[in-house]
Amino acid sequence: ILNVEQSPQSLHVQEGDSTNFTCSFPSSNFYALHWYRWETAKSPEALFVMTLNGDEKKKGRISATLNTKEGYSYLYIKGSQPEDSATYLCASINTNAGKSTFGDGTTLTVKP
């Protein structure tokens, strides 16, 4: 994998459903992976910073896992609420490259 890829591109779920999406990134020269939440008409805000293989982070109903050997991360949302509706971005940083390379995001819509 040369670029950062996210799937699915969009997702529609009912309130209360649990959901997950995937971020694939280059595993060579891995340094860090970030997840961001981007609400309409606002700016992206960081959810998680992940650096170690096997990392698992949690914030309320949202959690993320990281596999640096195979180059993927999962974001999970348990019991989705309408306020979870947003675009979720992941960004990969290679060793000392400095810049974050973003995927195109997964847009989540939670219906009441």
Partner 1 sequence: NAGVMQNPRHLVRRRGQEARLRCSPMKGHSHVYWYRQLPEEGLKFMVYLQKENIIDESGMPKERFSAEFPKEGPSILRIQQVVRGDSAAYFCASSPTTSGSAGELFFGEGSRLTVL
Give the residues lining the site for partner 1 (CB under 8 A): 31-32, 34, 36, 42-46, 49, 51, 89, 91, 93, 95-105
**What stretches of the chain show up as alpha helix (H) in DSSP?**
none
User: At 47, which amino acid appears?
Assistant: L
Radius of gyration for the chain, computed over Cα atoms and rounded to the nearest angstrom: 13
* Closer residue to partner 1, CB minimum distance, 20 or 100: 100
For 102, the token pair is: 């973003």
Dihedrals phi, psi of 78, to nearest 5 degrees: -95, 130
- State in angstroms the smallest separation of the CB of 40 from partner 1: 12
Query: Do 10 and 19 form a contact (C-beta atoms < 8 A)?
Result: no
Nearer to partner 1, 7 or 14 (CB): 7
Q: Which is nearer to partner 1, 60 or 98 (CB)?
A: 98
Nearest distance from C-beta of residue 9 to partner 1, angstroms = 10
CB of 44 to partner 1, least distance (A): 5
